[in-house]
Structure 1
Amino acid sequence: MPYQSVFRPGLFTDRVVIVTGGGSGIGRCTAHELVSLGARVALVGRKPDKLQAVQREIAEAGGEASTHVCDIREEDTVRVTVAAVLAAHGRIDGLVNNAGGQFPAPLAHTTARGWDAVVRNNLTGGFLMARECYNQWMAQHGGAIVNIIADIWMGMPGMGHSGAARAGMLNFTETAALEWGPVRVNAVAPGWIASSGMDQYPPDMAAQIRGMRQLVPAQRLGTESEVSAAIVFLLSEAAAFVSGACLRVDGAAPNAKRIWPQVGTGGTTPAFHGFHLASLPRVLQDDKP
């Protein structure tokens, strides 16, 4: 079964989009959806085996993707990687700044080294990728950038390093939308998404992860394809007058308030499952609603 996108076939024909963190999770899903709509995708990440696995999936689906091993935290490497994408594809129409990561730690126990590692991964790397795409192609030819941040509203306790970095990415998005216009720069802020990233956290967080849906007014977690759809919209011609914006995909979780103990009405919305290769994270497989 092919990817079941809600967007019209051929929407990105002859377009080239870079997807960082394209070897897993939301990046992998987004790459598949873009390819299903006619795009050629450049998969960027640190682990060649993961990138090559997604490249094979895309080829089996009849699409085209190139792989580019890159540590987005390294300025010279980013510059060379963007040049390599241009050499391979001849253009860059879109950038999905999806690569990132963090580890659980309270602020009082976060070292300078740990802080710097997360900030470089979630802020500096995204800036470098965006700057090079702009300088090497988009400044002269136009394009669209979508920065993936997170649910940072009201702080990010337990992962303050990531919250600070992603809040910085949102501010960078707003600044770049002004300085780089008419290149469009937007952000997508996923909430709690049932993605493979959930399996990267320590086992003692499993109960917390399984209980997240109870804190969401929509009474469930999101899907990778729901985030991908938001990204694809912001890359598309339908968003031609949207720039400097942030689209939340979070089931209204940040709107839950202590003064109003009821979270939603107890019902939920049907999840959108467009990604034909999606699988439930292991940590959720034994979780029963």
Structure 2
Amino acid sequence: MNTSRFRTAVCAVSGAALLAGCTPDVQLDALEQAKTANLARHVSAEFPAEPTVVDDPLGFETASMFFPRSETLVLCDDTLEAQLRAASIAVAAHAPMLVYDTARHADYVSLIADMRTVTVLTVGDVAMAPSSGAMRIRRDPGGIRALGEMTSLRFKEQLVRDVNDAARAVADIDQNDPTWLRAAWADPVTKPGAKAEPFPVQSRRDANMAPQVVATWESSIPSIANARGYGATVTMVPLADPRRAQETLFAMAGLGDNPLIALGSQFGSSEELGFRIRQAERHYRAP
């Protein structure tokens, strides 16, 4: 046998074996690093102490979770263009956001009272008439100039061209760089009587004590906006099941029995999510 070829073959096999042997250790290190990072945050006792799935298409649950009290509120119709504009305002102004459903009008009135809200800004076709007094209702007149006049902030414009990019666009808003996420296909409806009136900007709430928050492209705009308005970072994951995507597992590593907010029913129940995280970690560790 050719000695040179034999040595080459041995080296190739040895190298492959060495790489195969090292790969699990490298992966384990990555998982441990993710767990360490996720567990390093100090989470406020106001949040659940275990994984919690919040299926919140209108924003009620996340508004109550992140904003038990709020002087301001953004309320919009159910079109995506209105939701994007409302989210843009809510995140910049550190305010909660809700999507309006006429069938639940009494619930909005109740939540506004519970939060002790004094200024409501409606975006799009919302069936609430402008009013003044102890609780003010104002209508957004649309356009980028009005955003500055209402909030005293300088907004820039960012086009959202694909509906599937909407959730990520809201999650990625920089609170220090106010941005109108403008739908490329349409602007929100402007109701009669709309004019730019002051909409106070509140202080950021989280004080770096928010839990890990995860979402997918299927998560609702108001739920993401409420987390971002509070000041929490929202991590977008490719799949809801941590057993099916490494990126998802790393975002949730170590949190199977610890604070974690998952936005949307695609994550399963709270109990299922905790189980899946622990199962994914065990499988990942397996030789």
What range describes the TM-score normalised by the shorter chain of this pair?
A: 0.3 to 0.5
| TM-score scaled by length of structure 2 | 0.33
Q: From the CA coordinates, give the structure whose radius of gyration is larger.
A: 2
Structure with greater contact order relative to length (CA < 8 Å, sep ≥ 6): 2
| TM-score scaled by length of structure 1 | 0.33
